[in-house]
Structure 1
Amino acid sequence: MLPWRLKFCRFVSVLCTVAGILGNIRAEADIQTLISNAIRQKAPEVVIPPGVYKVQPASGGRVHLQVKDASNLTIKAEGVTLLCGKRTMAMEFVSCKNVRLQGLTIDYEPLCFTQGEVVRIADDRSWIDVQLDAGYPREPFSRIDLIDRVTRFRKRGMPFLWGAKAEMVGESTVRVFRDGIGKAAALGDLASLSTGPDPGGAPHGLTITASSDMTFEDVTVHSAPGFGIFESAGQGGSTFRRCSVTPGPPPTGATSERLLSSSWDAMMTAAVRKGPIVEDCRIEKAGDDSWSVQSTDYLVLAVDGTRAIIASRQPYDVFPQVGERLVTGLTSPEAVVASLRPVNLDQVSLGAGTRDKIKAAKPWEVWGVSAKVFEVTAKDSFPFPVGQNLYNPDRQCNGFVFRNNHLHNSGRILIKASDGVIEGNDIKDGHAGVTIAPEYPGAIGGVRNVVIRNNRFVGTGYFCPAPWSGQAGCISLSGQGSIDAPTFRDIVIEKNYFEDFNGPGIVIVSAAGVRIADNLFRNVMSETPNPTGQDLGIDGGALIWVSRSSDLTITGNRVVRPGAFFRQKVVWNEAESDSVATLESGIVIERGD
């Protein structure tokens, strides 16, 4: 008889062999069929066998995997990797309710970006050559970030480089053109070059559209042709728990670690009635913002009594629904939607000069509207003129929670919603920490009842300076309203830890009822302030900079070992000196250890 140890080893060997065979079989399973059958049979649960699934969209399709009209379903996908073969949407949930996804990993082959090293710079600094790393796509993507080769993170001092163009020069070198790019780059810098969807494809990795009460647990996105995770329309109320948007392992044939996760923002929720809960998630090295809750943004093109032609300014904006409101601020008049229908911009009647303004506008300018245009009839009156920006306070993602998340990402947290909490997060190396703002030129909004507390902010404000922008602080409330009609009300910033930020710590523009309490600032403002906000007169040497605001309270804050570029506790040019002195008494400076 064989010794028991030998029997056991043979048993384990056979078991592992069988498991390997089953793993290969499972990786060939049709996930779409499994899920579609579960939806049709109204099953409460479907289990996807573990494995790597190399998937392609259906013929003529733009999505690798779709979950549509599902309700009360749990999709268990622990140990499952969806390896997408085209740069188009990985997975889409449409018109779903109370669906739970657990454990899925999304990645792409080929990747949605490439990367390499700067090996040549034009004498006139108008282009740079990037030698691509082994194993990464040989394609001339043009959305470029310069990366510090030591930290393998976005290079401090990098300006905005959007609008670049690229071409291949040889089999493995990309030449990137943009005025002045050679001034920002140095030989030996690393670079990531990313892209959106393939022609005819759809952007983003995981999307949730027109759905409600969704739950995503332990879901990971390693690459995406757009946002990593994007939710829009519908009732909302989703929960994201222990989800990640982080770089994946090196691709086949590569020896260098990935420099990028999603090509654009990591996570965004837009135009839902109830905001999401995001807890214990991890976001690293995305191409833009870390996380945001977005409202709608419309421009009035024509008015005739109670009827108006409205255009959305962003492609993810959704039409308002009957009974929802259109407003310009927290206390503005409102138009209640009685009916609406989509229209063709080329076929509607517009006033003199309006169409010319639209044609001449750049995408980020006030008249830069999208192709989403509709005619709305208001219930009683439509009190807004042509050229006025509007938003829908009923689809503003209100009631959000962003808690206990880890962010090491060059982008910020961007808030356009009310009744929210941002707490317990570790936020490192973003171009800003938290920004509450309508964001775009001419855009308006209204935000109230937001609490920012017990967060840790480290290393913000060191790249992508924007002299034209009011979003200059590690935390910014950047509104366009007046003192009498502020953009923000009842905001609390308390018990946060700040370290090593560049420029102002907190910027407040157009707010009422802001409380800044019990925050600790350590080793801040040690380098020359970046020029963000200079065109608006924002002082980069002010710990707190205030304008067009009222009812501000500052108490119990400490600044330990401030840097050489810290000049003043509070700058509020419109306020009386006695008022500023009272506010400054709520900030204690400790210059020793």
Structure 2
Amino acid sequence: MRRIIICFLLYVAELAFSAASVEQEVMSADELRQHILEKRSAPLTCLNVKATLNVRDFGAVPNDGKDDRPAIASAVLKARRMEGPVQISFESGCYDIQPATDDYIYSDHTNSGVFLRDCRDMVIEGNGAHMLIHRQDVSVFAAVHSTNIIIRNFTADYDPLPFSQGTVCSINEANNSFVFELQSGFPRPDDAFFKSCDSWGMLKDTEHPGRLKADCPSVFFFDEMTPVERNKYRIVLKNPGRTSYFTKGDVFAITGRSASIGWYNDSDNITFNNITAYACPSPVFIGTETSRLNVLNCRMKLIGKRLMTNGGGGVICQASRIGPWVENCEFEGLSDDCLNIYGLPIYILEQISPVKMRVYAKAAIQPGDRLAFFNPNEGNVIQETTVVSFSKNILVLKDPVGKLNTVPPGAKRTKVNPREWKIYDHAYNLNAVGNYYVYRNNTMHDGRRYGVLLRASYGLIENNRFEGLSRTGMQISNEPEWPEGFWTRNLIVRGNRVSECGYGHGDPSIQIKSLKLHGVMDAPIQKNIFLIDNEFHAVSGPAAVFDGVDGLTVNGNVFDSGSAFGSLVVGENVKLRSLEDNTGDSRFEFKHSISR
């Protein structure tokens, strides 16, 4: 394992060096594409297996209705002790997964159907096996501190389901409540699972399963839920006036975020291949500090009367040193962004000197990492510098940083994520944001929020289809309000089609912005972005909004909108590198922009 880690760190260092050198010279789209594909290694799809174990030999027998989790865990333990690569094989049929604990503890991933800790060079071969999870806070697969893992050829579902839905019977605007009648086959909305986690609701479009009801908020929080008679519940909304969006006969869906189909942490080169799931509590594939995640030929599918498939996004990568590769996947009925790549803020608790400070950081910081210090209020990059050392929350930098607006002593913060600190100056680790990622030949349709939300550099978004998503199909921006970051540079968006997205809010098909708290930055941080041969079909309003981009190429694209008048493309504070051969260019409007 030590040798693998050293090789991986050398590989990351090579990527960081090449990234720095590439930014010094602007490449063509073809050169940049070649650079990304060369530097981001191809997905792991095969290992030269030396030994094979069958879970049946450990007591996991399909279709017998018994809990198979302990037997699967025994097979993994045996494989971990063997010289690899080792394959763990399932047979076709249904495997039942019961939780190991009595209480809802969704952070305890040892409950997972297949739990891999400190594993390497391993194939988990499903052979079409179906994983049926019997409590909503249990993940199907989880990998921790593991390297070179292939998980393939499974289907998965939950019983009970991790979401509920019912019909709106009546509305009482005076007390901001409505009555909900539970539909057959769904768990009670006051189920213990929903009480145990972040539970909220959405109004759904019954004519287009997976989509939200148009022209209304994308989320409804509630304070109270009281049974009033058999299968009926009175729900009191948290925000005043929200019942005005409700109509008798609407379908209201409730979700609670917890577990996932694939969860990963502090791992490298994990591949999910040919996984089809029909329900998931939270994002389908989600994790932190895991590089070279590969998601191939995977699907999230609506079945039966379900109007959603999960309570979160599709592929979520937090603080990766090397970004994900997602290809030939279909994401349907999601409740959040299909792809979300980002880094975490580093908060400064005490500035001991211009080069030394005490910080709060949730992700690892290594010597040689490049940091960008950010003033979220004024919207400017204060300083870029390199890490000399990081130990016991003390950060030592190569270059001095001017006086910062630090987090004051005793400032309030949540236990899990100090988002209240977003108003103070903070930093982003540019080596841990998910640079070098590939997202191609995927289909995302009929879901909530964005298709892709990007805050990382050296990316290839190619030949994807985005349809029926409630917000912008492609959102390329930092997020100071959340906060997550940081910038997107050297990005290729080519051959994609975005249609019927943004119907919930009149959003554009694509949006690129450089943001500060409560506004747009004066100096763009998004740089060197190529939009080539795409189709952007807006439901209404402009098809594209660009606000703060340095070095934008827009060639050979189709822009149109359901709105017959007004601008199709709106650009402000944009430095254009090329603007050629686009359909709809008579309705382009660029303000305070220049062409190079």
With the shorter chain as reference, the TM-score category is 0.7 to 0.9
Query: Are 1:164 and 2:222 an aligned pair?
Result: yes
How far apart in 2 are the matches of 1:489 and 1:32?
47
Aligned to 2:276: 220
Aligned to 2:466: 427
Q: 1:193 pairs with 251, 254, 269, which one?
A: 254
Aligned to 1:453: 494
Contact 1:406 1:427 survives alignment (8 Å): yes
What letter is aligned with 2:479? E
Contact 2:189 2:254 survives alignment (8 Å): no
How far apart in 2 are the matches of 1:239 and 1:360?
32
Contact 2:256 2:311 survives alignment (8 Å): yes
Aligned to 2:439: 402
Contact 1:149 1:188 survives alignment (8 Å): no
Aligned to 1:418: 457
CA RMSD of aligned residues (A): 3.1
TM-score (norm 1): 0.76
What letter is aligned with 2:371? L
Q: Deviations for 1:252-300, whole angstroms, at most 9, x for unmatched residues?
A: xxxxx11111211122111111111100001011111111111222222
Q: 1:205 pairs with 237, 246, 261, which one?
A: 261
- Give the SS at the match of 1:429: strand
Shift of 1:438: 1.3
- Give the SS at the match of 1:321: coil
Aligned to 1:437: 477
Aligned to 1:180: 241
Q: Deviations for 1:291-344, whole angstroms, at most 9, x for unmatched residues?
A: 1111222222321013323235xxxx523233323213789421414022259x
Query: Are 1:271 and 2:319 an aligned pair?
Result: yes
Distance change (3 Å), C-alpha of 1:218 and 1:574: same
Shift of 1:246: 2.8
Q: 1:245 pairs with 300, 304, 328, which one?
A: 300
How far apart in 2 are the matches of 1:352 and 1:39?
45
Contact 1:125 1:181 survives alignment (8 Å): no
Aligned to 1:570: 588
What are the residue-to-residue correspondences of 1:136-147 with 2, within 5 Å?
136-140=186-190, 141=194, 142-147=199-204
Aligned to 2:412: 358
How far apart in 2 are the matches of 1:80 and 1:352?
52
Shift of 1:92: 1.0
Contact 1:547 1:574 survives alignment (8 Å): yes
Q: Deviations for 1:482-515, whole angstroms, at most 9, x for unmatched residues?
A: 8884211110111111224333222222211101
Q: 1:341 pairs with 385, 388, 392, which one?
A: 392
Contact 1:87 1:196 survives alignment (8 Å): no
Distance change (3 Å), C-alpha of 1:340 and 1:144: same
Q: Which runs of 5+ in 1 are unaligned?
A: 1-20, 198-202, 251-256, 344-349, 370-386, 466-471, 528-540, 561-567, 584-593
Contact 1:294 1:415 survives alignment (8 Å): yes
Distance change (3 Å), C-alpha of 1:556 and 1:337: same
Contact 1:147 1:154 survives alignment (8 Å): yes
Distance change (3 Å), C-alpha of 1:232 and 1:542: same
What letter is aligned with 1:451? I
Contact 1:300 1:308 survives alignment (8 Å): yes
Q: 1:108 pairs with 150, 153, 158, which one?
A: 158
Aligned to 1:231: 287
| Matched pairs, number | 492
What are the residue-to-residue correspondences of 1:347-386 with 2, within 5 Å?
354-355=408-409, 357-358=411-412, 367=421
What are the residue-to-residue correspondences of 1:499-510 with 2, within 5 Å?
499-510=537-548
Query: Are 1:88 and 2:106 an aligned pair?
Result: no
Distance change (3 Å), C-alpha of 1:116 and 1:526: farther
Q: Which has the larger radius of gyration?
A: 1
Q: 1:518 pairs with 538, 546, 556, which one?
A: 556
Query: Are 1:558 and 2:583 an aligned pair?
Result: yes
- Give the SS at the match of 2:587: strand
Distance change (3 Å), C-alpha of 1:76 and 1:339: same
Q: Deviations for 1:347-371, whole angstroms, at most 9, x for unmatched residues?
A: xxx99982465359997965259xx
Aligned to 1:393: 430
Q: 1:47 pairs with 83, 89, 114, which one?
A: 89
Distance change (3 Å), C-alpha of 1:149 and 1:526: farther
What letter is aligned with 1:498? F
- Give the SS at the match of 1:557: coil
Aligned to 2:167: 117
Q: Deviations for 1:435-461, whole angstroms, at most 9, x for unmatched residues?
A: 111123266522211011111111111
- Give the SS at the match of 1:391: strand
Contact 1:496 1:520 survives alignment (8 Å): yes
- Give the SS at the match of 2:546: strand
Contact 1:483 1:548 survives alignment (8 Å): no
Q: Which runs of 5+ in 2 are unaligned?
A: 1-59, 103-107, 375-380, 395-403
What letter is aligned with 2:391? L
Q: 1:294 pairs with 337, 342, 360, which one?
A: 342
How far apart in 1 are the matches of 2:159 and 2:476?
36
What letter is aligned with 1:246? K
Contact 1:292 1:415 survives alignment (8 Å): yes
Query: Which range moves more in the overlay, 153-162 or 448-457?
Result: 153-162
- Give the SS at the match of 1:219: strand
- Give the SS at the match of 1:213: strand
Aligned to 1:326: 371
How far apart in 1 are the matches of 2:275 and 2:253?
24
Q: Deviations for 1:401-438, whole angstroms, at most 9, x for unmatched residues?
A: 10000101222110111111111111011211111111
Distance change (3 Å), C-alpha of 1:489 and 1:500: closer
Greater share of strand: 2
Contact 1:82 1:107 survives alignment (8 Å): yes
What letter is aligned with 1:131? E
How far apart in 1 are the matches of 2:502 and 2:552?
22
How far apart in 2 are the matches of 1:42 and 1:27?
31
- Give the SS at the match of 1:548: strand
Shift of 1:161: 2.8
Aligned to 2:358: 309
How far apart in 2 are the matches of 1:506 and 1:351?
35
- Give the SS at the match of 2:164: strand
How far apart in 2 are the matches of 1:415 and 1:362?
23
Aligned to 1:127: 177
Contact 2:509 2:537 survives alignment (8 Å): no
Shift of 1:552: 4.6
Identity of aligned residues (%): 22
Contact 1:53 1:80 survives alignment (8 Å): yes
How far apart in 1 are the matches of 2:270 and 2:413?
40
What letter is aligned with 1:428? E
Shift of 1:46: 1.3
